[in-house]
Amino acid sequence: MAEEIKKVTPVPTDKKEMPLQAGEGRNSEGFRPLRRGFGRPGAVKDEYESKLLDLARVTRVTGGGKRMSFRAIVVAGDKKGKIGIGIDKGKDVSQAIEKATTRAKKNLITVVTINGTIAHQVEAKFGPARILLKPQRKGRGLVAGGAVRTICDLAGIKNVSSKILSGSKNKLNNARATIEALRKLKVT
């Protein structure tokens, strides 16, 4: 009599070694589900557009040596009157940008625009940076440079003229002065 030999597979005792079942981390077709908001039908799309204003590698000197990190300055806006600036650091570039974008979305201000321009002339100062913003007639366009142009574009201001009155080339100070100027705007 020939005995039937049954193949016995060892039963794994550790949870890490066990194969994934249909309900554990994978869907019924065996694929992993998509991360929240990525490619899913009906997913909520982010309403804010963000732009990287500046990226700097910074070094902290300690007793054990130098610690490198990255500082990102990100401007986020919806082109409908909301604008924010975020500054944050991270161990790598992507982490710094992601953290700065999150912070920019938390620090939003509302800018009142009238027919695509600002209500009146405004001047603001932040540190050594001084910014002047003037309203323009329709069709004139965005006459600004550097950080001021990026901020006005993401805020939805289509016709404005600007001038950096100080000699400051620092993008962060110019951006903060521009935000301060937009915060001073009053509707008459």
Instruction: Verify that 87 and 131 share a domain, yes or no.
Output: no
Q: What is the CATH number of the domain that holds 57?
A: 3.30.160.20
Residue 130 domain boundaries: 112-183
Which residues have C-beta within 8 Å of that of residue 8, sequence separation ≥ 6?
none
Whole-angstrom distance, CA of residue 181 vs CA of residue 188: 16
Which residues have C-beta within 8 Å of that of residue 65, sequence separation ≥ 6?
none
Instruction: Verify that 131 and 177 share a domain, yes or no.
Output: yes
What total of structural domains would you count in the chain? 2
- State how far the alpha carbon of 131 is from the alpha carbons of 77, 82, 142, in Å: 20, 19, 15
Instruction: Verify that 125 and 83 share a domain, yes or no.
Output: no
Instruction: Verify that 116 and 179 share a domain, yes or no.
Output: yes
Last residue of a domain, one of 109, 138, 161: 109
Q: What is the CATH number of the domain that holds 163?
A: 3.30.230.10
Query: What's residue 186's pLDDT?
Result: 84
What's this model's pTM, rounded to 2 decimal places? 0.73
Taking alpha carbons only, the member of 82, 139, 85, 144 closest to residue 113 is 82
Q: Is the residue at 91 inside a domain?
A: yes
Whole-angstrom distance, CA of residue 188 vs CA of residue 177: 22
pLDDT tens, per residue, the chain with 188 residues: 555 665 656 555 555 555 555 555 556 666 655 555 555 555 556 789 999 999 999 999 999 999 999 999 999 999 999 999 999 999 999 999 999 999 999 999 999 899 899 999 999 999 999 999 999 999 999 999 889 999 999 999 999 999 999 988 999 999 999 999 999 998 76
Whole-angstrom distance, CA of residue 104 vs CA of residue 174: 16
Last residue of a domain, one of 94, 109, 124: 109
Query: What's residue 49's pLDDT?
Result: 92
Whole-angstrom distance, CA of residue 62 vs CA of residue 50: 34
Which residues have C-beta within 8 Å of that of residue 160, sequence separation ≥ 6?
117, 118, 133, 134, 135, 136, 142, 143, 144, 152
Instruction: Verify that 95 and 122 share a domain, yes or no.
Output: no
Taking alpha carbons only, the member of 92, 49, 88 closest to residue 72 is 88
Query: What's residue 30's pLDDT?
Result: 61
Q: Is the residue at 9 inside a domain?
A: no
Query: What's residue 84's pLDDT?
Result: 95
